Structure 1
Amino acid sequence: MSSTRHLPHAPTDSRDLAATAGVDAHWHDENQVAYASQGVLAVHTEASRWIVPAHRAIWVPAGTVHSHRAYGETRLHLLGLPAGRNPLGLVEPTVLAVSPLLRELLIAYTASDESQDVRARRRMLGVLLDQLAAARERPVRIPAARDARLAAVTAILEADPSDSRGLEALGHEVGASGRTLTRLFRQDVGMTFPQWRTQLRLYQALRLLAEGRSVTAVGRCCGFATTSAFIDVFRRSLGHTPGAYVRSGSASPGVSG
């Protein structure tokens, strides 16, 4: 990221972001939790991109240069914590599952006025941190490729997630064999090619659902052979169907599934 701002304090507040609005690259001296109770939040670092729907939050460690972008009208909740307060012991950005109780705590704590009863806020924060410490890691993450040949392949697929070609065919375009690309995926991004492609398609699917596209259209645009295949992968990866995700208010209404 070429231009970054140093904002020492990680704020604790709630704010609304318009569709496609963003927060430019910056970093804090404190840890931060970002959660969108409505819409979809994308968080970018130099190493990876994460997508954070309403059943997920992202932990951003102190010192991490990151930027935000909203997909769909997004209600963003930010929780700042001192650098020494790390209930999960995480040293890298991590997407976490948000339980119903953690969701309500994040909404209530980030919306409350700091002038309110200090002891009540301290008790609420204690329960919130207990819930955060118990949260499971559930990422939709796209690691950035460093090798030029692999980066060329990922750029092709990001431009068209419905491209169903295998690595041998893609390799013809970038001057690498399928075997070499298979090795590079494991070494460079820590995933197999099928794992990376599934993450990319889910990332794009969440963005499109937030923009109000139907489940059927999103599945087709993201390269799933059938709507039922899309629903199955979405459910296994995120714990609910895309239709349930839309109906929960996380995205604009589309065709249920």
Structure 2
Amino acid sequence: MQSHARGHLVYAASGILAVHTERGTSIVPANRVAWTPAGFTHYHRAHGDTDIRIVFLAPSLARLIPDHPAVFLASDLAREVLLALTGPRNYDDTAPHYSRSARSRLLRVLVDELREAHEQPLHLPEPRDDRLQAIARMLYETPGDNTSLAELGKTIGASTRTLSRLFRDELGMNFYQWRTQLRVYHALVLLADGHDTTQTAYACGWANPSGFIAAFTNIIGTTPGRYRTSRQTTTSGRSAKSKV
């Protein structure tokens, strides 16, 4: 766990990255950018062959983007700026030597691109209530578990009505929406490890691949098959980690 005096952007040029803060977990597939504001305690976890790029922002730029952890889709221009700031196109560990003014211009372009981007629904909020935390622990360990909220409530001694209210009030979504996001996060990890769509669907609790494909596409914006194909293309030759 760590925190920084400056907010920072973490870019997954390839692979899958999870950014954990006290607010929850941001899921960062390839070509997404995670933003962690200054002062947030956090840690990163990479899955698969992941190329991580980190860029810190001065307060004057950080104030232009959200004051909470968020994930953005990287535009083509944002991606190229991130790669330019953190290392050459051959992905070695030597960052280019830009002048201070040139670096400032690139950072401003990057922030402008993120301000135009929509936040991605890839942040899984962390429950604070003990009862929700107990449910979260069970489902983190077995994301494919199809136990209903009523049955989970019996296990921990809480009514369905109480748990539904807690999910809505604390996390801003219902139980099934939260579990679907958790499952898609787990699916991204399995896909990064080389599992195919059908294997991943059943492992994450879907009764058939078509239901999984629909849920995955709704959250990630592309099908699991296309995501695996694009990931295999972008991971070729990329394994360095660098920051600026």
TM-score (structure 2 length as normaliser): 0.87
**Which residue number in structure 1 is paired with residue 192 of structure 2?**
210
1:123-172 Cα distance to aligned partner (Å, 9 max, x none) = 43332222122111003222222222221112222221111122111111
Moved more, 150-159 or 192-201: 150-159
Partner of 2:70: 94
For the Cα contact (< 8 Å) 1:40–1:70, is it kept in 2?
yes
Secondary structure in 1 aligned to 2:110? helix
- Does residue 236 of the first structure (1) align with residue 218 of the second (2)? yes
1:48 aligned residue: 24
**Alignment partner of 1:73 is 2:49:** yes
Instruction: Give the equivalent residue in structure 1 for 2:206.
Output: 224
2:5 counterpart (29, 32, 57): 29
Residue 227 of structure 1 deviates from its aligned partner by: 0.8
- 1:39 match: 15
SS across alignment from 1:246: helix
Contact 2:11 2:52 in 1 (8 A): yes
- Which residue, 177, 182, 187 being the options, matches 2:169? 187
Which range moves more in the overlay, 210-219 or 139-148?
139-148
Deviations 1:36-88 (A, max 9, x none): 11111111112211110013111111111110010001100111111232264
Alpha-carbon distance between aligned partners in 2 of 1:100 and 1:115, rounded to the nearest angstrom: 22
Corresponding residue for 1:142? 124
Output the CA distance in 2 between the equivalents of 1:118 and 1:128.
15
Q: Distance in 2 between matches of 1:119 and 1:30?
A: 19
Q: Which residue of 2 aligns with 1:19?
A: none
Given that 2:65 and 2:111 are in contact with CA atoms closer than 8 Å, whether structure 1 keeps it comes out as: no
Where 1:84 maps in the other structure, the secondary structure is helix
Asked if residue 125 in structure 1 is aligned to residue 101 in structure 2, the reply is: no
Q: Which residue of 1 aligns with 2:154?
A: 172
Instruction: Provide the secondary structure at the position in 2 that maps to 1:35.
Output: strand
CA RMSD of aligned residues (A): 2.0
Q: How far has the Cα of 1:35 moved from its partner? A: 0.6
Cα deviations across residues 76-109 of structure 1 (Å, max 9, x unaligned)?
A: 0111111232264311111111122212221122
1:200 aligned to 2:176? no
Alpha-carbon distance in 2 for matches of 1:125, 1:149: 43
Aligned with residue 109 of structure 1, among 85, 104, 108: 85
Count of aligned pairs: 229
Q: Which has the higher contact order (CA 8 A, sep 6+)?
A: 2
Contact 2:14 2:31 in 1 (8 A): no
Deviation, structure 1 residue 119: 4.6
Q: What amino acid is the match of 2:126?
A: A
The 10-residue stretch of structure 1 (86-95 or 191-200) with the greater mean CA deviation from structure 2: 86-95
| Counterpart amino acid of residue 151 in structure 1 | Q
Higher percent of residues as helix = 2
Dislocated runs of 4+, deviation >6 Å: none
What is the deviation of 1:121?
Answer: 3.5
How far 1:118 sits from its partner (Å)? Answer: 4.6
